[in-house]
Each structure stands twice: as structure tokens, then as C-alpha cells.
Amino acid sequence: MLDLRSYESQLDDPAWRKLHISGPVDELKAVANVARLIFIAILEDCQPGVSTEGTCAYSTVLVKMMLESRTGYKVTQKGGDGQGDGGYFDAAGGHGHYWVEVDTAAGAYVVDITADQFGADPVVVVPASNPQYVPGDQQLVDEQFIGFIQGIVS
């Protein structure tokens, strides 16, 4: 079993940060990779062998919380239905999906730890202008997450 605390503690270790983080993108990747390890451990604990398919809302909550607690960046949940209101787009078409967008001094970035469900890398950090990630109606996304989070904590 992985000792997830050791991975998470690296993010707080100044010596490790000095060696591995030279800017916002490195910081986003470091947090996203630790979030992915934690998320996969949670999935495996709940149901061994389960994939990330259909888990993007849960992963988005985790990534948002981790980025907000470890960085000073503005983090916003984004998403779309893959039909006519944004989503994740690849050669197969549009997919309903959620991810976070992070505003840094160097620009805005998408952070996604469940893109592997579409055949992409497990951890994605790309400029927010990436055409694969098209944000849908933000008011609708915000409303969906309010209801989603209330369902988790109630």
C-alpha cells in the first residue's frame, strides 16, 4: 500500500519544492499528481479494479480542495455535457466531463486527473485555451456542484 502522506508531505518540503517546482505549471502538476494518487487509492479502496469513468465530479472536488489549500491560485470547477454546452472533445466527439481551471500569474490552466477515461494521460495540465476543454454554462456548473457537494456531506 502506498504511503500517501509521504507524497503529500513532499508538497510542503521546501527542499523538495526547490528541486522540483520552478513555476506555476510545475506546481499544478505536482499537486495534480498527488491528487491522482490519493484519488486512485480511494477508488481502489471502495471497489478494486474500478476505472475513473464517471468519477470526474468527485475528482474535481478533490483537486479543487487541494489546490486551494496549497496554492494562492483561483480555482474554478468547469464542465460541460459534451453535446451542445461544452465538455471534453477528442476524435470520438464530445463527452460530458468536469475539470478545474486555475488562474495563475502565468495564465489560466486546465487541471484534470481523470482524462484517462477518454484515452488521454491520467493527469493533464494544459493551457485553458486547449480546444479539448470547452467550458459550458458556468452558472449551471456551479449549481450542479452545489447540489453535488450537498449530496456528499449530507
The whole-angstrom separation of Cα 121 and Cα 51 is 14
Residue 83 CA to residue 93 CA, distance in Å, equals 9
Angle between helices 56-70 and 24-46 (to 10 degrees): 130
Question: In this predicted structure, what is the pLDDT of residue 126?
Answer: 97
Q: Are 121 and 132 in contact (CB under 8 A)?
A: no
Per-residue pLDDT of the chain (154 residues; tens, 9 = 90+): 556 666 667 776 777 666 666 778 899 999 999 999 999 999 998 887 879 999 999 999 999 999 999 899 999 999 999 999 999 999 999 999 999 999 999 999 999 999 999 999 999 999 999 999 999 999 999 999 998 888 777 6
The pLDDT score that the predictor gives to residue 66 is 94
Q: Is 121 helix (H, G, I), strand (E, B) or coil?
A: coil
Question: For the chain, what is the largest distance between any 2 Cα atoms, rounded to a whole number of angstroms?
Answer: 47
Report pLDDT for 115: 97
